[in-house]
Structure formats: structure tokens, C-alpha cells
């Protein structure tokens, strides 16, 4: 197994360090040969070579079987409106260069942490669904994009092709077939031409998956129902910007963004990352929650290598740590543990 490791910025290096410890332990236990190669991305890459996703990092990713990624972002760029190069451009470039067209985010709850959710326990208990977000099209990449010469008008263009929609909808149906056989397309087809095309293509593809129930929800309705009845979802698929917003909304259901992993899959090397950001305020303090990064390793075993047993080993170890109260400060009001202590405990449970 050849893994590209991109720790990135902020708390990225800290949580990825714990994820790598878990990865190494599982490989030792199961007899897998492991090769790691590290690369820079984001603000640290700008500081090093002026490019948030340098060619040497891309080469490492293309030659790997999978990419384990931390986080991108730094306050010095957030607070500078005139910055010509930003860390986040590295993330967009990486997704485009690797052909990562689908971001897959599982959302579920842990019984011992139901009290941490801002929603009532009876609403979130048993919630278990997957959000599939399109990554390479839509407003974030559409042209033209920019501002008028006087700066008083700004414009973005939402563009999708049939090929982009077909490939992610088909992928989502395949996920639904492996789960509870229900797919929800989230769009704004009453307003947007691109959404009407998404809905048309989904209806065409649904004929090939008669065993899967298909429903169509406007994005505003979906956002409301995610709070009212999160258990009603199984697999949700949507375009780039809607997915960006809805997946962050979904992340609070579990009680902490520090618990949710994600996978980005596509044409080349798949990438696995925690959904949280770089959280610069916590960087260097050894307080960040490493669980999402560790669970991203579980997703990597399952998705990139079809090693379901290895993934389950990691999930069981994480669940044991949570039930034993070995968690970081974001998950408890009582005694908390450091990033490294949580990582070491998960390794010990393996």
C-alpha cells in the first residue's frame, strides 16, 4: 500500500499524525506492506514554494494508491483581501487535477454522545446516511467569473455537463444499492436550469435501478428535513455548492465535526480527509479531535482497498474510545484527553 500523506495546515499535521499511527498499527496486525510519502499543500506549500498545490505534490499523489489529507487554511490569507494566492486554491486544484468528482460523507451518531448533538436525542438517534457531493463543477468552477472594472458588480456562472451529472448520480445509486436502497436528489429545479437537468438525468438513470426508491427534494426543504427527521435519508446526492452547505449542516447531527470522515473519489487517486477545517486557534495545543482523521483511514481501507475488516477494526476501536470517555475537550465537559492520548488509546484498542 503506497499512501501519499498531506498533513496541510493548522491542526492538520496533529490529527494526521494520529491517523498514521493507526494506519501503521493496522498494517502491522494484518501483514500489509506500507509505504508513506509526504507532500505539502495549502499555506505551508505557499510559504515553501509559492504554490498551494505544487507539481511535486501532485506527482506524489498520482503515484500513490490513496491520499490521506489533513486540512487547508491560514488566518493570514483569510484576512488579506488582496492575496493573489490562497491556500484554498490548492484544494480546488488538487480536486480538479486528481479528477475527484465525488465527495462522500457518512453521517451517523454514537449512542454515548447523543447528548452532544444540538438536536433532541429522539430525533438523531439512529441517524445513518451518506451525502454525495459533486466536486468539480457548478458555481465554484464555472466561467465567466469575476467582477466589473469598477468593482460594483460581481458574477459567477453555474455550469454542468451531462457527463458530470451522470457519473455522480450512477455512483450514488451504487451506494444506495449497498445500503437501504433509497436515493434523494437535492436540487432547486423550480428555479435553476442546471437543477432541471440534474433532475431529468436522475429520472433517466433511475430506470436502471428499479430496486432503489428515488425521491426529489428542493434544497431548502432538504435543509429543513435534515433537522426535523435526519433518519429519513439514506443516500443524498447534490451539486457542489448545495453539497458544501448541506454536509456542514449534517455534520452537527453527530455532535462534533471532529467525528466525521470523508472520501473524495474520481478518475485517479482517491483522497481521504476529515471534514473539519484547519482550526488555527487550536494548532500546536494538542487539543484537536483526531477521530475524524482516524475514521478517514477506515474509509480508505474500505473504499480504496476493499478491506472491510480493517475498516471495521478501526471503527470498533474508535467506538470503544468514545464509550470509555477517552475523548478530546470538544466531546466532554468532564475530564478530556489530548490529541495524542486519544490516538494512542485507539491504537491500544486495536
Residue 113 DSSP symbol: G
C-alpha cell at 206: 433511475
What are the Cα distances from residue 142, in Å, to 148, 252, 315? 17, 29, 38
State the residue for C-alpha cell 443516500: 235
Among 65, 128, 156, 248, which one carries the catalytic annotation?
248
Q: Of 78, 80, 220, 324, which one is the catalytic site residue?
A: 220
How far is the C-alpha of 131 from the C-alpha of 234, rounded, in Å?
8
Name 196's Cβ contacts closer than 8 Å, sequence gap at least 6: 187, 189
User: Helix, strand or coil for residue 270?
Assistant: strand
d(CA 194, CA 24): 44
Active site residue 47: no
Q: How many CA atoms lie within 13 A of 194 on its CB side?
A: 20
Q: Which of 53, 101, 110, 140 is catalytic?
A: 140
User: What CA–CA distance (Å, rounded) separates 161 from 141?
Assistant: 12
The DSSP-derived string for 308-322 is: HHHHHHHHHHHHHHH
Of 47, 65, 156, 244, catalytic: 244
Active-site entry in 160, 188, 216, 279: 188
**150 in active site:** no
Q: Which three cell numbers stand for residue 347?
A: 491504537
Q: In the annotation, is 211 catalytic?
A: no
216 is catalytic: no
Which residues are catalytic, by number?
A: 140, 188, 220, 244, 248
Amino acid at each position: 500500500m503506497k499512501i501519499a500523506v498531506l498533513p496541510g495546515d493548522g491542526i492538520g499535521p496533529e490529527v494526521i499524525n494520529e491517523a498514521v499511527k493507526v494506519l501503521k498499527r493496522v498494517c502491522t496486525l494484518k501483514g500489509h506492506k506500507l509505504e508513506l510519502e509526504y507532500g505539502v499543500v495549502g499555506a505551508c506549500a505557499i510559504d515553501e514554494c509559492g504554490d498551494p498545490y505544487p507539481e511535486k505534490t501532485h506527482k506524489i499523489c498520482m503515484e500513490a494508491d490513496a491520499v490521506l489529507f489533513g486540512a487547508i487554511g491560514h488566518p493570514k490569507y483569510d484576512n488579506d483581501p488582496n492575496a493573489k494566492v490562497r491556500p484554498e486554491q490548492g484544494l480546488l486544484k488538487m480536486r480538479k487535477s486528481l479528477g475527484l468528482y465525488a465527495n462522500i460523507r457518512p453521517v451517523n451518531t454514537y449512542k454515548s454522545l447523543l447528548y452532544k448533538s444540538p438536536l433532541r436525542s429522539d430525533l438523531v438517534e439512529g441517524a445513518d446516511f451518506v451525502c454525495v457531493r459533486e466536486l468539480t463543477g457548478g458555481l465554484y468552477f464555472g466561467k465567466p467569473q469575476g467582477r466589473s472594472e469598477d468593482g460594483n458588480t460581481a458574477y459567477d456562472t453555474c455550469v454542468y455537463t451531462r457527463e458530470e451529472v451522470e457519473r455522480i448520480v450512477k455512483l450514488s445509486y451504487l451506494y444506495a444499492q449497498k445500503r437501504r436502497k433509497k436515493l434523494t436528489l437535492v436540487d432547486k429545479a423550480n428555479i435553476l436550469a442546471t437543477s432541471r437537468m440534474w433532475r431529468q438525468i436522475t429520472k433517466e438513470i433511475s430506470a436502471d435501478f428499479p430496486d432503489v426508491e428515488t425521491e426529489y427534494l428542493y434544497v431548502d426543504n432538504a435543509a429543513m428535513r435534515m433537522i426535523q427527521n435526519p433518519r429519513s435519508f439514506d443516500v443524498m446526492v447534490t451539486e457542489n455548492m448545495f453539497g458544501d452547505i448541506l454536509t456542514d449542516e449534517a455534520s452537527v447531527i453527530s455532535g462534533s465535526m471532529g467525528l466525521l470522515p470523508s472520501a473524495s473519489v474520481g478518475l485517479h487517486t482517491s483522497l481521504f480527509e476529515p471534514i473539519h477545517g484547519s482550526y488555527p486557534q487550536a494548532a500546536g495545543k494538542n487539543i484537536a479531535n483526531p477521530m475524524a482523521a482516524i475514521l478517514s483511514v477506515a474509509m480508505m481501507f474500505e473504499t480504496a482497498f476493499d478491506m472491510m475488516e480493517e475498516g471495521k477494526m478501526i471503527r470498533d476501536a474508535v467506538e470503544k474510545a468514545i464509550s470509555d470517555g477517552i475523548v478530546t475537550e470538544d466531546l466532554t465537559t468532564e475530564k478530556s484527553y489530548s490529541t495524542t492520548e486519544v490516538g494512542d488509546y485507539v491504537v491500544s484498542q486495536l
